[in-house]
Structure 1
Amino acid sequence: MEDFNWLQLLNPEFYILLEFGGIKIGLLVVLFIVFAETGLLAGFFLPGDSLLFLAGIYSETLMHQISLGNDFLNVTVFALLVSIMGIFGNMAGYWFGAKSGTYLYNRKDSFLFKKKYLYQAKEFFEKYGNRAIVFARFLPIVRTFAPVIAGIVSMDKKKFMFYNIIGSFLWSFSMILSGHYLYQLFLDQFNIDLKHYIEFIVIGIVAFTTFPVLWKIFKKRVHIE
């Protein structure tokens, strides 16, 4: 940690390869981040999509201490663990929304909380209805606040859990398996190690996932003007 730089907190690879006392704790950190990003309002700035994609690339490293001795089983179990944490995260967000009611709309902006994100998630939820719980998984910021909105509007708990489970599994398995098998494909077929291009991968994923949100904001401002 002598060479620690605060900018590392924006790099998903930092969390994956993190060690404490010589022990690799990347798996625990990744699982916590998934829960935090979907269950804690302060988690919206955490690297969700890029983290899971890179976690798929590093799945062998992450599962080293609890390896099942089979590559497919290891990556499947890892994706399953992430899915479960995502489900619990959304449940926490829903519970918070149900208990807080309109409190968040009256709360002042702070470094970790911006009211505009709440309104964006509300508009997204109103547009897509129950399916928003699934779609929100693939959109930064929105996925943090969507379950909170579901709790505030008292979405039926059974329907919420149904879409919560589907969304979490789709998000986790698609991102992790894509990273895992694309890494193997590029290495075996083209002799290209994607680990050497982590920065470009992260930038590409962040740009791809945030573009829909930024485009919607841009269109709204143009319409207003």
Structure 2
Amino acid sequence: MEIIQFFIDLLQDPRSFIAEWIASLGPLGAYGPIFLIIFIETGVVIMPFLPGDSLLFTAGFFAADGQGLNLAILLPVVWVAAIVGDQCNYWIGREFGRRIIDSGRVKSMTPERIEKTEAMLDKYGPLAIFLGRFFPFIRTFVPFFAGLGRMHYKKFFFFNVLGGIVWSSVFTLLGYFFGGIPVVQEHFELVIVAIVLISLIPAVGGVLKAKFGKKKPVAATEGAEANVPAAVAATDGDAEADA
């Protein structure tokens, strides 16, 4: 429970956590927790709820104007964390994926998320490795299912490196260039909440589509089944009339 509460607190106020890491571990030591959290979110399939986007944004803010972090160090740190994390997740899926799914112990791996991830891989192929970076939860599952489906490793590696660099750079640089704006400073917590909510929109939309999009075929099937007795009755009536 303590670890869950830690991540909830981190999600709500990443600025205080990074400030505390800089104060207690020193500027160089603060890169360690940032690396670890980005790596775990992308590399451990049971931890898809970590605040990767908001953490990158906040870390970028602390790299601006000499606030403790250095952008020239921070960017390579988050690049490596994102790339190595997906690499790890790929091999977990490749070696243990079927057993993990069959066990049913990963509660975050809901049927809707599995379906959305598999649909993305089917539609976009290796490009899904890049696109999936920008979808919370999905970004944790995509490399896992790529490994499970035994995607060609060279293709996976290329899009993993490309996606890891682009995703981590975008959110880090957003914090670097815009985190110091007065209105952002005054409402920093609200900005973090907004980032989380905006990044969740595609995932929520996918869940709703998976849930309600299936009702139409079911209704059509039920309608067809309901018409079967009537069709049979009509056929019987025609047969009796012919007789």
Q: Given the two structures, how large is their TM-score scaled by the length of structure 1?
A: 0.82
**Residue aligned with 2:46, SS:** helix
Q: CA deviation at 1:224?
A: 2.0
Q: CA deviation at 1:53?
A: 0.9
Q: CA deviation at 1:163?
A: 0.3
1:83-122 matches, cutoff 5 A: 83-110=79-106, 113-116=108-111, 117-122=113-118
The answer for the alignment partner of 2:24 in structure 1 is: 22
Q: 1:54 aligns with which of 58, 69, 76?
A: 58
Residue range with higher mean Cα deviation, 6-15 or 157-166: 6-15
Q: CA deviation at 1:110?
A: 4.8
**Residue aligned with 1:102, SS:** helix
**Residue aligned with 1:22, SS:** helix
Residue range with higher mean Cα deviation, 144-153 or 5-14: 5-14
Whether contact under 8 Å (1:19, 1:26) holds in the other structure is yes
Taking the aligned partners of 2:129 and 2:34, their CA distance within structure 1 comes to 21
Residue 13 in structure 1 maps to residue 12 in structure 2: no
1:38-187 matches, cutoff 5 A: 38-59=42-63, 60-63=66-69, 74-110=70-106, 113-116=108-111, 117-184=113-180, 186=181
Structure 1 residue ranges, 4+ long, deviating more than 6 angstroms after superposition: none
Whether contact under 8 Å (1:16, 1:27) holds in the other structure is no
Query: Where does the alignment leave 5 or more consecutive residues of structure 1 unmatched?
Result: 64-73, 187-191
Residue 220 in structure 1 maps to residue 215 in structure 2: no
Greater share of helix: 2
Same amino acid, percent of matched pairs: 28
Amino acid at match of 2:124: Y
Whether contact under 8 Å (2:100, 2:106) holds in the other structure is no
- Label 1:198 to 1:30 Cα distance change in 2 as closer, same or farther (>3 A): same
Query: Where does the alignment leave 5 or more consecutive residues of structure 2 unmatched?
Result: 216-243
- Residues 144-169 of structure 1, C-alpha deviation per residue, up to 9 Å, x if partnerless? 11111111111111111100110011
**Residue aligned with 2:213, SS:** helix
Q: CA deviation at 1:202?
A: 1.1
**Residue aligned with 1:43, SS:** coil
- Residues 13-55 of structure 1, C-alpha deviation per residue, up to 9 Å, x if partnerless? 2432233993344321111011000101232111011111111
Taking the aligned partners of 2:10 and 2:175, their CA distance within structure 1 comes to 21
Taking the aligned partners of 1:140 and 1:134, their CA distance within structure 2 comes to 13
The answer for the alignment partner of 1:67 in structure 2 is: none
Q: Given the two structures, how large is their TM-score scaled by the length of structure 2?
A: 0.76
Paired positions, count: 204
